[in-house]
Amino acid sequence: MLLTVPEAHTERCSQHPSLSTGYAGRVRSFPLVSCAAVLQLIRVPRGGTNSHLVQAAERAHLTGAERTGWMTTTGEEGMAATAEVVIVGAGIVGASVAYWLTEFGMRDVLVVERRVPASGATGKSGALVRLHYPNPHETQLALESLRFFQEWESRVGTSSPFVRTGFLQVVAPDDEAKLRQNVALHQALGAPVTLLDRAAVAELEPWRELGELTVAAYEPESGYADPIAATLGLLARAEQRGATFWPGTTVTEVLLAGDRVAGVETTRGPIAAPVVVLAPGPWANRLLAPLGLDYQLLPRRVQVVVFRWPLEPAPAHCCGIDTAVGLWYRPEGKTATLVGLEAGVQPADPDHYPETADPSFVAPARAAIARRYPALAEGIVRGGWAGIVMQSPDGRPLFGPIPEYSGLFAFLGDSGTSFKTAPAIGRALAEWIVSGRSSRDLTPFRVARLAEGRPWIDPTDYARPGRTVSR
């Protein structure tokens, strides 16, 4: 006897148009005797073939009640786990996607993480939360995300990881015209940003050496966050709303059925899913290469060092980026300052790299911060570390649907600047998955832009050869 899939299942497909592409039709025409019969089909032995997984993926549209008694999200031997969406990586972006998918009502979301949350770039991040970008697209993501950080407790339910300090952007004298243009753009977008003249900067931070500064951009509402607390908070909220988290599990392969996603293979067995979101940070290339995808992404090692002020009390200063010096910094607690440099960021292997800062990094970092905060020429080193970011060829992130494979989405090439924007990036990806489109125009971030020969170039960028942005 041939029956069609119960109405409830096809309704779910229509709620999630992106899941329906090449999928709902297949479910509708699937020769079912009953849901129980489908369940028999998807008892996949470990090492089962892709076609078994396709059948299992189709199962992912059954309701929770119909799974009870057979499905496991603990990767039990002899069964294929399933999910509506599998997210690869529990950095800030993967956690944000999980948060937003569950905010939009999805429950069957599985986050797979090779180690623990925030064990990639996120856990090492300077985590500046600021608005200053030389284009409207990243500024809008940053502004939406700043509002999210400001409303953290009511939205996420954990104590806020965000610390408001204010933010100062300083540039070299020959970039001041660009700075003014950028601030005008930010203001037009409604961002809380003002221009400060030399006297106003001196009043804001009397302990600062002004150098050649005549004007700076000031963001009174910006600051920084604890990136690990932020990731854990988003994941906890997603789990509270029904998402499942598998730490200590590596995704070894994205599984395909023709030109669509069927799930993932993991070190705990296969997971069947019609939608897979890749947010694997600097480990992306090893999942992309077998799919024939190459975005020329390069893992790069970024260092920071923390100096304790030799003063008591230490000044409560702003976060800042100073492209005249090639420096970024933020308070680290109440008595120290965390310092990063724009130069000297080297390619590295994310599985084998020194996680502490090099001794040779300390002197240039101290010299750079002392040009602005002279008291830190005698700053006392309290530690330092290194993390790996994934650099895209044009230094801007790539994210959205992967056009080659239906059901595959990705956030790639964070380029050292995507902690602060992760709340908005997660929302955009979740919107695509749930409704098939994003509520804002994210065309500039499309993954195809490099293949189209249209790298992202901002005329008002302060970029200098040999410098990267990790802040």
Ligand X SMILES: Cc1cc2nc3c(=O)[nH]c(=O)nc-3n(C[C@H](O)[C@H](O)[C@H](O)COP(=O)(O)OP(=O)(O)OC[C@H]3O[C@@H](n4cnc5c(N)ncnc54)[C@H](O)[C@@H]3O)c2cc1C
Applying CB under 6 A, which residues contact ligand X? 88-94, 112-115, 119-122, 124-128, 250-251, 279-283, 287, 302, 304, 340, 387, 389, 411, 414, 416-420, 470-471
Q: Nearer Cβ to ligand X, position 54 or 128?
A: 128
Q: With contact defined as beta carbons under 8 Å apart, do 129 and 149 qualify?
A: yes
β-pair type (215-219, 167-170): antiparallel
400 pairs with which residues across the strands? 410
Q: Which is nearer to ligand X, 114 or 132 (CB)?
A: 114
Q: How far is the CB of 3 from ligand X (least distance, A)?
A: 38
Question: Residue 412 Cβ, how far from ligand X at the closest point, in Å?
Answer: 8
* Tokens matching residue 163: 């610390």
If the CB atoms of residues 234 and 376 are measured against ligand X, the closer one turns out to be 234
Beta carbon of residue 413, minimum distance to ligand X (angstroms, whole number): 9
Report in angstroms how near the CB of residue 33 gets to ligand X at its nearest. 36
Decide the pairing of beta strands 85-88 and 275-278: parallel
144-166 burial, b if ≥16 CB within 10 A, otherwise e?
A: bbbebbbebeebbeeebbbbbbb
Is the peptide bond between 313 and the residue preceding it cis, with omega within 30 degrees of 0?
yes
| Residue 464 Cβ vs ligand X, minimum distance, rounded to whole Å | 18
Residue 171 or residue 271: which is nearer to ligand X going by CB? 271
Residue among 304 and 327 whose Cβ is closer to ligand X: 304
Distance from chain centroid for Cα 69: 35
Please report, as a single letter, which amino acid is at residue 51: S
What's the CA gap between 404 and 95, in Å, rounded? 25
Strand pairing class (269-272; 109-112):
unpaired
Nearest approach in angstroms of CB 70 to ligand X is 25
**DSSP tag of 197:** E
Cis omega (within 30 of 0) for bond into 423:
no
| Coil/strand/helix, residue 322 | strand
Q: Compute the least distance from the CB of residue 29 to ligand X, in Å.
A: 34
CA-based nearest residue to 338, from 167, 184, 125, 143: 125
**What's the min distance (Å) between Cβ of 370 and ligand X?**
20
Q: Shortest gap between Cβ of 346 and ligand X (angstroms)?
A: 12
Q: Using the minimum distance from each CB to ligand X, give the nearer residue, 260 or 330.
A: 330
Token pair of 352, please?
Answer: 């084998």
CB 100 within 8 A of CB 432: no
- Identity of the residue, 13 or 424, whose beta carbon is nearer to ligand X in the bound complex: 424
**Cα distances (Å, whole numbers) of residue 270 to 37, 49, 83, 251, 254:** 20, 10, 11, 9, 10
Give the span between the Cα atoms of 452 and 470, in whole angstroms.
Answer: 26
Q: Report the residue number, 179 or 306, with the smaller CB distance to ligand X.
A: 306
Structure tokens at 31: 């020769």
**CA quadruple 14, 20, 23, 25: dihedral sign:** positive
Complex with ligand X: residue 314 or 321, whichever CB lies closer: 321
Using the minimum distance from each CB to ligand X, give the nearer residue, 58 or 414. 414
Q: Tokens 């660009």, residue?
A: 178
Smaller CB separation from ligand X, 55 or 270: 270
For residue 15, the minimal CB distance to ligand X (Å) is 27
Distance in angstroms (rounded) separating the CA atoms of residues 106 and 298? 33
- Rounded least distance, CB 322 to ligand X, Å: 14
**Distance separating alpha carbons of residues 195 and 181, to the nearest angstrom:** 11
CA distance 100 to 87: 12
Tell me how far CA of residue 213 lies from CA of 60, 209, 313, in angstroms.
59, 9, 26
Smallest distance, ligand X to C-beta of residue 155, A: 19
For ligand X, the closer CB: 32 or 146: 146
